[in-house]
Structure 1
Amino acid sequence: MPLLSKKFIMLTCAMSCAAATLTLAGCSSAGAGSGSTNPAASSNGTPTASAGTVAATGNVVSQTGNTVSDAGGLISNTPLPIPGVATSQQDLGTTVTNGGQIVTALGDGISSGLGKMGSNPNPIGTTVASTGTVISKTGITVGSAGQLVTDLGATGSPLQPLSPLTTPIGSALSSAGVSIDSAGQLAALSLAIGPVQQVTQSLSTAIVPTITTVTDTTQTIGQTTGLGQPVSGLLATIGNGISSAGTQVGGSSSNVLAKDVGGIVTTVGGVVTSTSGLLTSDSASGSPSTSPLAALPSLSSLSSLSSVGGTGSSGASPLAPITGLLANASASGSTAGSSPLAPVTGLISGASGSASASGSGSASSPLTPLTGLLGNLGTMGGRTH
């Protein structure tokens, strides 16, 4: 009787789901509107840099789900020296496998939706619609858990005395799983068309350009300061190193879990590598300096401030106290060597001298603009005393 009841419930839910599908399809075809109702439809655009990071994160989630599913397979196929538990063991493995599919569906929804901002016309809609699949997979997992509970009290099981308790609980879980699965399938349809699709389309239209603008701003800052390229290169190096380590872990054993764990590590490296695109653009013209001091030459424009100090009293320039301090520090460093700035002034003087001696002009030393600035400030300070 429980088996017939279960089949009846599944048949009823399947018929209800089919009827709902036909109803939604009819409403969709009867309604006015010329736009595409499929949020997964792609445009001809290119995914943004931020989308790459989101997609890589989705890959980590998906790979984690695959790992859990494979663990379920191992549970099902590993023989145990316990009589009467073979069926329950299979049920447990199936439940774990189905649970991993929930995580995989979540990651796939992230990657195919928000992970394709710039190429998917409605990335938010795609990700939202994928929650229907997540709900459906959850229902399947609950149903398999119900079967596990039922079989724990089956004939021949060590827990057979608990069958008066396990049978009704298992049946209830199985029925709930069927209902959740049907609800998830209905949600997947409802979220992909109609009013929900219109809302998600509006959100995508408003939010995606904002995210793109923020990404463009961080890239511009990185290129302007000269820090984008070196930091981006560092992130790429670290990410590639992590991915390489993941590849080695996956190849170190024929065990499926070892390969899956290696895959997780590899995808994490992909996330780190993808963040490098947030700081610099591949389409940027020229080759930005790889040195964090690349922004220092802009300080050479301050050398024109030496005319501010000019001649006259030290009170004529707001920089006079600073230039005087630098001049005194340099003088005391060269005479008595007791100035706390003597090592710095000596090093700068040496760097400036080396640049001049090389015969290649001021461009031969990356510190020339800085040494020239300090030299001008020191001279200015000296004239004020």
Structure 2
Amino acid sequence: MSDRRRVSIHFIPAPSVRLCAPIVAIVAACALAACGSDGVSVPTGLSGNNSGGNVTPTDPPSPPTAKTTGTITTVGKVATDLGGAISSLPVPGASSGVTGGVGSTVGALGPVIDSTADALSDGLGQIGTTANPVGTTVAKLGTPVSATSGVIAGVAKTVDALGTGPLSPLAPVTTPVAGALYTAANGVQAGGMILGNRLASSPVQQVTQPVSNAITPLVITLGQTTQAVGTTSGLGQPVSGVLAQVGNALQGAGTTVGSSSKEPLVGDSGQLASVLGTTITNAGGLVNPNGPNGAAPIPGLITSLAGSTNTSVAAGSAGSGGAGSPLASLTGPLSGVTSGASGGTNPLSALTGALTSVTGALSSAPAAGAGSGAAGVGSLLGNGLPVLGKLQ
């Protein structure tokens, strides 16, 4: 064995070593992943007799609690909880490993979705506060790719379980296929790590920097322009107040739905309604610089929609409709709207009632400087939205 090793090394020319360096790096990364250094591992006992039971991969970690809960991160939580629900379902004629594998496959989508949300929020969601937002988003795309390995590992677990129990005659086929899928999962995991390093390298960042330099002033100027229009016309605070009323009512309805059942998926549906309400409220920052999401309205909406484990949405310099504001009667009853949603039998009654009362307030109380414009908007909304009140 030692003679063979010396001969093989002796006849490898130096140029070949340089050409194979990238391949060696990939093989080394795959080898590290195969040792179980980061989640997915290649289990032993797949090539040959598989009668000893199910082979279970290392499940992907649960996504961390987001500092900003958005629509995308909520969908990720839905995927994780749905995977857990599927894992507990019995399937006649199949071992529990089959449903466990399917559940692992679905649940592993959660980290993929969450890491994608982080890439959006930490980069494009920070336009104006970071030098290269496009480069930051691009550099983080390797993480979702790497997290996809958990999905492939879940498929491998499912295939391997098909060769156990009553379906054990399928083991000669399922065992090698499962082994190949586990190997592919490790390769994808290592490949995502390598991709992330490449995307974060200086050459790639030098390409993305001019793009960031071009879009940053456009995004910031657009947000400032819409806020200036809202302030100058006097419609900024009324519109922001309407959106806050609707958003808070939707949050209250989501809380009611989420607390009505101990089932995780029911709670997720309520949370999805709540985060949509938050996003509607944050949309007011587009026309009201002093309201929620008033500091950076367009990047804030990206973060609000996506969600993030690292960043939050910045409010304006003051709350919309504070004490002494002509809109205090409009924005003050938000807590009452939310509590009404919790106590009513219909979770949407608070939302439809808020729409009716808010549009009526807009029609009768135009903001300072609004002139006939605010009354016109109030009349338009007042003529259209009260129809929703009939849904109660």
What is the TM-score with the length of structure 1 in the denominator?
0.58
Higher relative contact order (CA 8 A, sep 6+): 2
Report if the CA contact (8 A) 2:33-2:186 is conserved: no
Report if the CA contact (8 A) 1:223-1:288 is conserved: no
Q: CA deviation at 1:208?
A: 1.6
1:232 paired residue among 216, 240, 248: 240
- Alpha carbons of structure 1 residues 207 and 288: separation in structure 2 relative to 1, 3 Å: farther
Report if the CA contact (8 A) 2:33-2:189 is conserved: no
Q: Does 1:151 align with 2:155?
A: no
1:67 paired residue among 78, 83, 103: 78
Structure that is richer in helix per residue: 1
2:123 paired residue among 113, 133, 156: 113
Q: CA deviation at 1:111?
A: 2.2
Counterparts of 2:27 and 2:191, CA distance in 1: 14
User: In the alignment, which residue of structure 2 is the partner of 1:291?
Assistant: 366
SS at match of 1:159: helix
Counterparts of 1:88 and 1:297, CA distance in 2: 66
Counterparts of 2:190 and 2:370, CA distance in 1: 60
- Alpha carbons of structure 1 residues 97 and 113: separation in structure 2 relative to 1, 3 Å: same
1:306-385 to 2 correspondences below 5 Å: none
SS at match of 2:261: coil
User: In the alignment, which residue of structure 1 is the partner of 2:202?
Assistant: 194
User: In the alignment, which residue of structure 2 is the partner of 1:211?
Assistant: 219
User: In the alignment, which residue of structure 2 is the partner of 1:251?
Assistant: 259
Residues 88-132 of structure 1: per-residue CA shift (max 9 Å, x gap): 222222111112221121122222222222333332222222211
Report if the CA contact (8 A) 1:153-1:163 is conserved: yes
Q: Does 1:96 align with 2:171?
A: no
Counterparts of 1:97 and 1:17, CA distance in 2: 21
Residues 269-323 of structure 1: per-residue CA shift (max 9 Å, x gap): 111111100012115999688627954379xxxxxxxxxxxxxxxxxxxxxxxxx
User: In the alignment, which residue of structure 1 is the partner of 2:250?
Assistant: 242
SS at match of 2:116: helix
User: In the alignment, which residue of structure 2 is the partner of 1:269?
Assistant: 277
**What is the identity, as a one-letter code, of the residue corresponding to 2:120?**
I
Aligned length: 251
Q: Does 1:166 align with 2:166?
A: no
Residues 187-221 of structure 1: per-residue CA shift (max 9 Å, x gap): 12222232112333332232122101001111111
- Alpha carbons of structure 1 residues 118 and 17: separation in structure 2 relative to 1, 3 Å: farther
Q: CA deviation at 1:83?
A: 5.7
SS at match of 1:291: coil
SS at match of 2:144: helix
What is the TM-score with the length of structure 2 in the denominator?
0.57
SS at match of 1:153: coil
Residues 112-161 of structure 1: per-residue CA shift (max 9 Å, x gap): 2222223333322222222111101112211221221122123x1x4334
Counterparts of 1:159 and 1:120, CA distance in 2: 56
Report if the CA contact (8 A) 1:69-1:97 is conserved: yes
Report if the CA contact (8 A) 1:132-1:186 is conserved: yes
Counterparts of 1:206 and 1:193, CA distance in 2: 21
Q: Please tell me the root mean square deviation across aligned C-alpha atoms, in Å.
A: 3.3
SS at match of 2:195: helix
Counterparts of 1:214 and 1:170, CA distance in 2: 52
Report if the CA contact (8 A) 1:70-1:256 is conserved: yes
User: In the alignment, which residue of structure 1 is the partner of 2:338?
Assistant: none
Counterparts of 1:84 and 1:217, CA distance in 2: 61
Counterparts of 2:81 and 2:130, CA distance in 1: 31
Report if the CA contact (8 A) 1:225-1:295 is conserved: yes
Counterparts of 1:138 and 1:66, CA distance in 2: 16
Structure 2 unaligned blocks of 5 or more:
1-25, 35-66, 291-316, 328-364, 377-392
Counterparts of 1:277 and 1:152, CA distance in 2: 53
- Alpha carbons of structure 1 residues 12 and 143: separation in structure 2 relative to 1, 3 Å: farther
Larger Rg: 1
